[in-house]
Amino acid sequence: MLSKDISALYLVLWVSSCASAEDLYMTRALKLMSETPLIDGHNDLPWQLRKQFNNELNKVDLNTLATTHTNIPKIKEGRLGAQFWSAYVPCESQYKDAVRQTLEQIDVVHRMCQKYPETFMFATSSQDIMEAFSMNKTASLIGVEGGHSIDSSLGTLRTMYQLGVRYLTLTHSCNTPWADNWLVDTGSEPSQHNGLSPFGKQLIVEMNRLGMLIDLAHVTVTVMNQVLDMSKAPVIFSHSSAYSVCPHKRNVPDDVLQRVKEKGGIVMVNFFNDYVKCSKTATLSDVADHFDYIKKVAGVGIIGFGGDYDGVTRLPEGLEDVSKVPKVVAELLRRGWTDEEVKAALGNNLLRVLREVEKVRDTLKGMSPDDVPITYDEVKNSCRTSYGYHNAGAAHSLSTLALLPTLALQALTASTAL
């Protein structure tokens, strides 16, 4: 009887010791998150506001909203320092009203910041992120998810930048008239451009000039490599994970991880079960495996957080909403990550990338905006007029010619660097 009592006592002490250790990791995690902003690359709350309330924000209270992964109490508990809110509209809107709908999504993010100024601060720069963090507010940036949202227009791209958009995901789950999407790599859709068309390459140059982050989540591996070849600035994957851990075509293969490292970019780990475990179920530990793997293959300098909350239907056990993200930080510490490595993944990596993109923009200030349009033949459809197009063949030759000097200069720069 005595021996059973002693065994029970040992069990209680062991459980207590484990709980105490976990508490220490969480305490340390929260301290690091108070010193470095957690910057998340992708949250689809704006899309939920459209789906559930048709963007009638006056009818919503984000303090009490219970039908989303994200609300203000969850943001506070999750220590969310900065968020790229997704201005997403479905591929069905392509060639129809994608631009209007995207503008409405941009508008709802602005109004969200205006309605809750004590929680959100609208942000467009690395400096803004740090200013919001110093005021204990969530810096709110905008990323447009899907190139169909600009309707193949550089003028629309520039206008969205002026409205505060700081990244464009080149495709969503459909090809655009100038880029192939990730489904091409699954074999379920044909390639239309072998990656990027000439106009797609114009777009990359213009994004560098503007200082807009190029997001390679949702594109084919061919597009990933073409952009990595071309871009003067680092690139991001706003919500993708490691292909070798879960071989889903939305994830990033090892050779691309290496190239992202060489480019100084970032891969922001997605929490969607299907990309984490290639299964309908996953755990917090499975998410941490992606962090560990990317660190092993390409170093801690390319890692970030890209939860995809409110954009996915299945989340890992222990990461059910935005409030749970500190658990990932505690798990990384438990696995032996140093404070500096954790701070890099939390926000320092993204801040570095954004500052470098801003630096490239500043070096290109003397470069004129590209105003050569995509050829009419590439975008011709029943919902589009042809105003301004006098000769489609001439426009095509102009588009190609306009790109040649830029590509030649980049090739010369690359050969000099070698």
The catalytic residue positions are 42, 44, 145, 172, 218, 239, 308
334 class by beta-carbon count within 10 Å (0-12 exposed, 13-18 middle, 19+ buried): middle
188 class by beta-carbon count within 10 Å (0-12 exposed, 13-18 middle, 19+ buried): exposed
Q: How is 403-415 classified by DSSP, letter by letter?
A: HHHHHHHHHHHHH
Which amino acid is residue 145, in one-letter code? E
* DSSP strands (E only) in 249-293: 266-269
Q: In Å, how far are 67, 238, 279, 283 from 317, measured between CA atoms?
A: 18, 22, 13, 5
Q: Residue 370's closest CA among 333, 405, 335?
A: 405
Q: Cβ of 183: how many Cβ atoms within 10 Å?
A: 19
The residue written with tokens 């001439």 in the block is 394
Q: Residue 324's closest CA among 312, 332, 316, 313?
A: 316
